[in-house]
Copies of this chain bind each other. A is one copy, B any other.
Amino acid sequence: MAPDPTPAPATPTSTPPTLTALTAYLLSRTGKAARGRLAARLAEEDLRLWHMAVLAALADFGPHAQRALAERLSIDPSDMVKVLDDLTAAGHVTRTRDPADRRRVRVTATPAGRAALAAQVGRAQEVQAELLAPLSPAERATLHALLLRVFTPLTARQGPPLD
Number of copies: 2
* Distance of A121 from chain B, by nearest CB (Å): 6
Give the residues in chain B near A147, CB-CB below 8 Å: 23, 26-27, 30, 143
* Contact flag A125-B22 (CB < 8 Å), given A10-B71, A35-B28, A150-B135: yes
| Option from B33, B72, B151 in Cβ contact (under 8 Å) with A154 | B33
Please report the total number of A residues contacting B with Cβ < 8 Å.
75
Q: Is the interface of A mostly helix, strand, loop or mixed?
A: helix
Residues of A within 8 A of B (CB): 2-3, 5-6, 10-20, 22-35, 37-38, 49, 52-53, 56-57, 59-62, 65, 68, 71-72, 74, 100-101, 117, 121, 124-125, 127-128, 131-135, 139-140, 142-144, 146-155, 157, 159
Give the residues in chain B near A150, CB-CB below 8 Å: 30, 131-132, 134-135, 143
Complexed CA–CA distance, A101 and B88 (Å)? 60
